Chains A and B, each alone.
Chain A
Amino acid sequence: MPIKSYLVHPHQGMKDTLIDALSKHNQCEVIPAKNKEIIILITDTENSREEDLLKEKIESISSLKLLAMVSGFNTPKN
């Protein structure tokens, strides 16, 4: 049950496009900074495999410049 947080940097001028692309994934929670070109991304997946697949999809988004993990948690299902 991994939960991870990332700082996500868009390519210049692509912040909104990146927000849209990330928001399409149910496992993603997106929190854009109001005054900076940076987005907080929280991923919430069932298992490591699903997490890896999601990460692959995110990394293929063309408006994404850099994905930097901040924290990772693993928790038993409620």
Chain B
Amino acid sequence: MMYTATLTNRRSFIKKMAVLSAMAAAASMFPGIIFAEEQEAGVPKGANLDWKKAPCRFCGVGCGVLIGTEEGKAIAVKGDPQSPVNKGLCCVKGYHSIMALYGKDRLTKPLIKKNGQYVAVSMKEALDLIASKMKETIKDHGKDAVSIYGSGQWTIPDGYVASKLFKGCIGTNNVEANARLCMATAVTGFLSSFGLDEPMGCYEDIDYADTFFLWGNNMAEMHPVLFSRLLDQRLKRSSKIIDFATRTTRTSMAADRSIIFNPQSDLAVGNAICYEIIHNGWMNSAFVEEHCNFSKGLTKMGYGLEDNYKFTDKPEKIDFEAYKKFLEDYTPEKASKISGVSVKDIKYMAAQYGDPNKKVMSFWCMGPNQHSRGTWMNNIIYNIHLLTGKISEPGNSPFSLTGQPSACGTVREVGTLTHKLPHGVVTNKKHREFAAKIWDVPVGNIDPKPTYHTVEMFRALDRGDIRFMWIQVTNPMVTIPKLKRYRDGAKKEGRFIVVSDIYPTPTTDIADVILPSAMWVEREGMYGNSERRTQYFEQMLEPPGEAMSDTWQLIEVAKRLGYEKQFYYNEETHIEEIYNEYRKHHVGKRHNMAPLEVLKSQPGAMWPYVEGKSTQWRFNSKYDPACSNGKDFHFYGKPDGKAVIWQRPYEPAAEEPDQEYPYWLGTGRVVEHWHTGSMTRRIPVLHQAMPHGYVELNPGDAKRLQIKTGDDVKLTTRRGEIILPASVNQRGVPAPMQVFVPFFDENMLINDITLDSFCPISKEPDYKKCAVKVEKA
């Protein structure tokens, strides 16, 4: 796709706008539609473009793109045909990605708040101030009063130096990232079931699966390129797509079967599928006997609504008979009463998994993850795959998708969460010793006690336990649930907030210092996608003004804090030096990372990268060199080499509809905008295609309330109220007595009224469920 930023010809500009409008319209009508040839056609005649590869800036699919630059500007982007992820395709956001570099209001100068006004200063002055404020805060309030909050958009080097500085040098575990809000549950799901994080399979599973089971996952809008691969397989091989969701979406419309369930009741339906598998003799007994254990954990854990809430699960081994008896509470008939799903549909779903001749791939993302019992829900999906032995082989794959380009690469693998280290956890002495050696710090520097997960970190800021917070490449003043409390807390006297970003956002509004960041290919880096693929991108452009990479901002401050020895990196070669140092944390057949020269030469490589090869299917001895038990499968993340089938019950959500607040409120995303819209709302065609937030209502409810599309609707929860325009029978259709609101619009902050309940195991908030009153405004 040709872009307009460098065009002086107004007419060409308008023509391109017309093309983009049409493409956006087509994408909204046909999920997964591709206009690949147009990418080349748009390149101006005579243009001498230099095409270089990069992973896409937006979601966690990690599509490979080729970026065409000329005279220091990015002017074209196309899908990389060499990339096994997207095979030359892009979604509507990918096609427009480079336009996000050129918004009119890019931050180009550091700004310091002086007497209530932002004043432009030099980068040196800003970095000096940040370092001195950190020193002062540590001196006055202790090391646990300073914190950093990053994101799954951090490159691997960004997250690595942040963790090294805060955990290794300063000695605080106040390191969190926004992936806590989207992927923490996936992590705890993997760790509890398998002992190791991230999917065992890969995208190539799509080419082998007979049934795609989407658990609360609107792939058509959130992962359109992967969804187009599903549609392609349906066309070629008659694969089936089952959409199991709480709301009718574009995915439902494209699916072979759309099944709607009551919010939170996926727990019951998942267990009913397990019940059916066992009672119909579909269990792969040999696989279960050889490779699985059964466990149960604590129940009635609460929802984390109170400050300083703590929970640690206590796993207890059980036997198969106990698990079978537990499932008697989840016969299809009983689960049907909880879920609203017909007995026939539950049996249909179970039969898809149970059919020994069908390969099944499960996909999920925010539905089971942003769930107050999310870890349980992840466990239940794994239970289904383990009971049937449909796992870790081509086409049989439980696949947890991610939403950010490096949620896996940076947050989960580098370990930028309070309890994590690049290899292992802070609570483990050996892991601390291992990290300290590579980081060249005394082992005593690394605190063995985790501090705050994300919601609790913002609560600590509100309480005053945290006094300094550095926020990089994320927008928490749009995304934190029950936002008003945390926005007010961040503005309190005695707090010092640094925000590194590329555009002004509601989060830069609370900053004492704003640092302009280099974006994506304006610096060098790596992202890690959902299928364990690490992808490198070189610096292709100069960042605007004084903008600097988040990595180098951290290094500059680290040096000012006196850590020159640990932050020895050379400005010209620091990314390579950091990556080579980082690789040392993952040495070994279970997680080896590919050398940088390999990442430079091809569209990424999947870890474990062993003997010059990516590992596509972990835990399967046919494909994974780390398997060492002499059997066909080896779940080596667990000491006995066996995966765990968990007994996890249905429990209600933290806040359910009642007489006063009779509707369910769920929140989510749209295809045009990426998360909080701070980049995509600056891309004219995407902004025009989806200019503002809205509330989706069920047509029956809307009729009863005499609300039509465009009418103002007042939503009231126990946290506050908001007015939004109605959307009836437009894009998505919620079930009766439910409403849906996307969160991309910073002028309609739906998170002001959401609830900060979270999964007690993962500490990930449940953005999908709270009680709301709906009125015509």
Contact = CB atoms under 8 A, between A and B. Distances in A.
Interface of A: 1, 3-7, 29, 31-36, 38, 40-42, 44, 70-71, 73, 75, 77-78
A42 B15 contact: yes
Contacts of B33: 33, 35-36, 38
A13 to B, nearest CB: 16
B769 to A, nearest CB: 35
A3 B15 contact: yes
Contact of A40 (B17, B26, B231): B26
A36 B89 CA distance: 14
Given A31-B19, A33-B35, A35-B33, A7 B25 contact: yes
A40 B14 contact: no
Contact of B22 (A34, A35, A42, A44): A42
Which are the 6 A-B pairs with shortest beta-carbon distances? A5-B18, A5-B22, A71-B21, A34-B34, A40-B22, A70-B22
Nearest to B18: A5
A15 to B, nearest CB: 13
Contacts of A78: 9-11
B483 to A, nearest CB: 35
Given A7-B25, A40-B23, A40-B26, A35 B14 contact: no
22 contacts: A1-B11, A4-B18, A5-B19, A5-B21, A5-B22, A7-B29, A31-B38, A31-B41, A32-B35, A34-B35, A35-B33, A35-B228, A35-B231, A36-B34, A38-B33, A40-B23, A40-B26, A42-B15, A42-B22, A44-B11, A70-B22, A78-B9
B36 interface: yes
Interface string B626-655: 000000000000000000000000000000
A41 B25 CA distance: 12
A3 B37 contact: no
Given A3-B11, A35-B33, A35-B228, A73 B25 contact: no
Nearest to B688: A71
Contacts of B232: 35
B694 to A, nearest CB: 21
B13 to A, nearest CB: 9
A35 B34 contact: yes
Interface in B203-242: 228, 231-232
Interface of B: 9-11, 14-15, 17-19, 21-23, 25-26, 29-30, 32-38, 41, 89, 228, 231-232
B11 to A, nearest CB: 5
A5 B231 CA distance: 27
Contact of A32 (B19, B21, B37): B37
Q: Name the prevailing secondary structure of the B interface residues.
A: helix
A18 B756 CA distance: 54
A16 B36 CA distance: 16
Contacts of A4: 18
A75 B14 contact: yes
Given A35-B34, A35-B231, A40-B22, 14 more contacts: A31-B19, A31-B41, A33-B30, A34-B36, A34-B89, A36-B33, A36-B34, A38-B33, A40-B26, A70-B21, A73-B18, A77-B11, A78-B9, A78-B10
A41 B301 CA distance: 57
A5 B24 CA distance: 11
A5 B26 CA distance: 11
Contacts of B14: 3, 73, 75
A57 to B, nearest CB: 19
A44 B13 CA distance: 12
Contacts of A75: 10-11, 14
A18 B264 CA distance: 49
A4 B15 CA distance: 8
B15 A29 contact: yes
A66 B640 CA distance: 63
B229 to A, nearest CB: 11
Contacts of A77: 11
Given A31-B38, A34-B36, A7 B26 contact: yes
A52 B36 CA distance: 30
Nearest to A34: B34
Contact of A42 (B10, B18, B36): B18
Contact of A71 (B17, B35, B37): B17
B9, B25, B37, most chain A CB atoms within 10 A: B25
A68 to B, nearest CB: 8
B12 to A, nearest CB: 9
A33, A38, A44, most chain B CB atoms within 10 A: A33
Contact of B19 (A1, A35, A40): A40
Nearest to B232: A35
Nearest to A73: B14
Contacts of B89: 34
Contacts of A42: 15, 18-19, 22
Given A1-B11, A31-B41, A71 B18 contact: yes
A70 B25 contact: yes
B757 to A, nearest CB: 41
Nearest to A35: B34
Contacts of A35: 32-34, 228, 231-232
Contacts of B22: 5-7, 31, 40-42, 70-71
Nearest to B13: A75
Nearest to A75: B14
A78 B232 CA distance: 43
A78 B9 CA distance: 8
A36 B36 CA distance: 12
Nearest to B11: A78
Contacts of A29: 15, 19
B18 A3 contact: yes
A71 to B, nearest CB: 4
A23 B14 CA distance: 20
A70 B18 CA distance: 8
A7, A36, A41, A73, most chain B CB atoms within 10 A: A36
